[in-house]
Amino acid sequence: MDKKKFNFKLFARLIKYVKPYKFNFIFVSLAAILISFFSIFNQYLLKIAVDDHITLKNFNGLITIIYIMIAVLLFQVLFQFLFVYFTNLLGQKVVFDIRTKLFSKIISFRMSYYNKSSIGRLVTRTVNDMETIASIFSQGLFMILADLILMFSVLTVMVILSIKLSLIIFLILPFIIIATRLFQMAMKVAFNNVRNEVANLNSFVQERLSGMKEIQIFNRQKIEYENFKKINERHKVAWLKTVWYNSIFFPIAEISTSITIGLIVWYAGFNNIGVKNSITLGTVFLFIQLSQMLFRPLRQIADKFNTLQMGMVAANRVFNILDTNEFVKDFHSNKSKTIIGKIVFEKATFSYIKNNNVLKNISIKIEPGEKVAIVGPTGSGKSTIIKLILRFYDLNNGKIIIDGTDIKKFSLKNLRSQVSLVSQDIFLFADSIYNNISLFNKSISRTEVENAAKEIGIFDFVKKLPGGFDYNVKERGVMLSEGQRQLISFLRAYVSNPKILILDEATSSIDSKTEQLIQYATNKIIADKTSIIIAHRLSTILNADKIIYLENGEIKEVGTHQELININRGYYKKLFEYQFKESENLKKVI
């Protein structure tokens, strides 16, 4: 978005979000008008007090005027409070709605969207950019509106009261406007520098904290400390520049206000204050007050406009995401089919990146209840097959058919609720084990989870953790070892009671006790189900009804272990000999 020009279309789109809160909007606008009215009216009352009472030494009624002044002041303060409260309230309400809408969008994009988007940026959109949008309402739009109303009213009152004194103000006004403009321009550059330096500090600290292990192992503390000092110094210098401009500008602004007051007093004095038909003392007082009421908002309005502009830039970024429509095509259907478990791949071809096929024309047939192991070298496309069954991506060519129906004809919810996945890299939320298993599904009770844990043989392991099922595993499950995380994710899959179970075995080796637990749990959860296991463990492969050997996105061999091992110079045979012979021999020795 062009930073200079105001984008009215975008602004109109943003204002649409105010519609549900139009009474709030109207009230705030009204309050802005009333505040200007009260503040000018109060000054006007002061003029009357001076002209009609104090100068004439007529104290009758003076006390009434003072009471009225107090009442007006109280109203002014009350409306000021309401104005600040309701502008912020409106901002937060609008931002709440946009943020909710944005998040509901962000959690339903198709996988390819997340692959190409930076997570950090999406977080910034949902958190920081939203705050910037809120400031349009809390610090920008209505403040500008209030200032404009006030300045306009002040100018009108001035001209009505005394053209001559108004001319003095008009004489000074251009100087103040120019000085303010220069200040604003200098500040913009200075603040940009500060922001850059803050970003530098942020990324430096963040990177060093993530790489703390490397810093300490390689004894880099002193060097990093020196580097940090340099960046910190630059940050300080950048800040001091803004302080410098501020300390020049505000005295200048004060001087011009004082000069204006001096000129008003000087002119009025030479024109015989108080003499009939001339400028009254009260008018002079009033002009002094009004000139301050004019110059103060004038000094700040550009700042507020900047806030508005920055909010608009943020709104533009957020709307760009709201306009994105990268969804998996969902076949909306209320009919939920119960899956039996026959899976067929028909000449399936798929590529993540154009013209770079990861799966090439593959055909697979899996009968209900069958246990299929997929093996093959790294990068051969094994995990991709799983992602396709779950429709994280759609095929470029060919079909995937479950129980005779193309998976595109299932609703996503229907499909995914009956296919469960234990993936290669397990993700756990920073929450209790129980919540990580039920995933906040209220229909899954604690007893159910505990019984399920007993069934797959991991109850004792969970119970031994501090707090048992309430143990908080922290971000990504860092409080657990890799093997433990796998066991938890097995339980998660088991509890969801799927018709088809997919297991992408982790490649990392684990101790033999956990290995046994995992083996037992695996057997339990795949019993009576169609299961596809990307196998790295020998025992899984040997137990499979069928083994599919995948290489380079093509199926090279299909058969049982016995069949495949008998193929001379077969792919599977070679893999088996390389990978498993050794461990088999080892087992024999043990």
Ligand X SMILES: Nc1ncnc2c1ncn2[C@@H]1O[C@H](COP(=O)(O)OP(=O)(O)OP(=O)(O)O)[C@@H](O)[C@H]1O
Contact residues toward ligand X (CB under 6 A) are 115, 352-353, 358, 378-384, 424
Closer CB to ligand X, residue 1 or residue 122?
A: 122
Q: Which is nearer to Mg ion, 280 or 384 (CB)?
A: 384
The Cα 455–Cα 521 span in angstroms is: 8
If contact means CB under 5 to 8 A according to the sort of partner, which of Mg ion, ligand X, none does residue 384 touch? Answer: ligand X
| CB-nearest residue to Mg ion | 383
Buried b / exposed e along 276-305 (16+ C-beta atoms within 10 A):
eeebbebbbbbbbbbbebbbebbbebbbbb
Give least dist CB 424 to ligand X, A. 6
Angle between helices 281-322 and 8-16 (to 10 degrees): 80
Is the CB of 437 or the CB of 575 nearer to ligand X? 575
Of the two residues 153 and 383, which places its CB atom closer to Mg ion in the complex?
Answer: 383
DSSP-derived secondary structure letter, 5: S
d(CA 256, CA 181): 15
Q: Does 383 bind Mg ion (CB under 5 A)?
A: yes
CB of 536 to ligand X, least distance (A): 8
Q: Is the separation of the CB atoms in 178 and 171 below 8 Å?
A: no
Q: Which residues contact 448 (CB under 8 A, 6 or more apart)?
A: 495
Q: Which of ligand X, Mg ion, none is residue 209 near (CB under 5 to 8 Å by kind)?
A: none
What are the backbone dihedrals phi and psi of residue 104, each rounded to the nearest 5 degrees, phi first? -65, -30
Residue given tokens 């110059």 in the structure block: 295
Considering the complex, state which of residue 76 and residue 384 has its C-beta at the smaller distance from ligand X.
384
Query: Judged by CB under 5 A, which stretch of 223-231, 377-385, 425-433, 575-583 contacts Mg ion?
Result: 377-385
Give the contact letters, 325-364, x = binds to Mg ion (CB under 5 A), - = no: ----------------------------------------
Stretch that binds Mg ion, among 190-198, 366-374, 380-388, 565-573 (CB under 5 A): 380-388
Counting contacts by CB under 5 A, is residue 283 touching Mg ion? no
| Least distance CB 517 / Mg ion (angstroms) | 22
Strand partners, 247: none
Which residues fall within 8 angstroms of residue 151, CB to CB, at 6 or more apart?
Answer: 294, 297, 298
Q: What angle do CA 307, 312, 316 make, to 5 degrees?
A: 150
The nearest distance, CB 476 to ligand X, in angstroms, is: 19
Of 309 and 384, the one with the shorter C-beta distance to Mg ion is 384
Give the rounded distance of the alpha carbon of 267 from its chain centre: 59
The one-character DSSP state at 498 is -
- The item of Mg ion, ligand X, none sharing an interface with residue 379, based on CB under 5 to 8 Å by kind, is ligand X
Q: Least CB distance from residue 488 to ligand X, whole Å?
A: 20
Q: How far is the CB of 188 from ligand X (least distance, A)?
A: 41
Q: Which does 36 bind (CB under 5 to 8 A by kind): ligand X, Mg ion, none?
A: none
Q: Which is nearer to ligand X, 339 or 375 (CB)?
A: 375
Q: Tell me if 91 sits within 8 A of 141, measured CB to CB.
A: no
Round to whole Å and give the CA distance between 88 and 12. Answer: 19
Q: Which does 363 bind (CB under 5 to 8 A by kind): ligand X, Mg ion, none?
A: none
Rounded least distance, CB 202 to ligand X, Å: 28
Size of the site for Mg ion (CB under 5 A): 1
Min CB(544)–Mg ion separation in Å: 17
* Min CB(373)–ligand X separation in Å: 13
Q: Considering CB distances under 5 to 8 angstroms, the limit depending on partner class, which of Mg ion, ligand X, none binds residue 352?
A: ligand X
Complex with Mg ion: residue 297 or 376, whichever CB lies closer:
376
Cβ-Cβ contacts under 8 Å for 61 (sequence gap 6 or more): 52, 53
The CA R_g of the chain, rounded to the nearest whole Å, is 37
**Distance from C-alpha of 151 to C-alpha of 145, rounded to nearest angstrom:** 10
Range 189-192 contact pairs with CB under 8 angstroms and sequence separation of 24 or more: 190/238, 190/241, 190/242, 190/245, 191/242
| Residue with smaller CB distance to Mg ion, 36 or 383 | 383
CB of 211 to ligand X, least distance (A): 25
Structure tokens at 205: 């600290």
Query: Which residue, 382 or 561, has its beta carbon nearer to ligand X?
Result: 382
Q: Least CB distance from residue 417 to ligand X, whole Å?
A: 24
435 binds Mg ion (CB under 5 A): no
CA dist list (Å): 554 to 108, 381, 382, 507, 558: 31, 8, 10, 21, 11
Tokens representing 443 are: 């229909």
Query: Is the Cβ of residue 47 or residue 536 nearer to ligand X in the bound state?
Result: 536
Summarize as ranges the residues that interact with Mg ion (CB under 5 A). 383
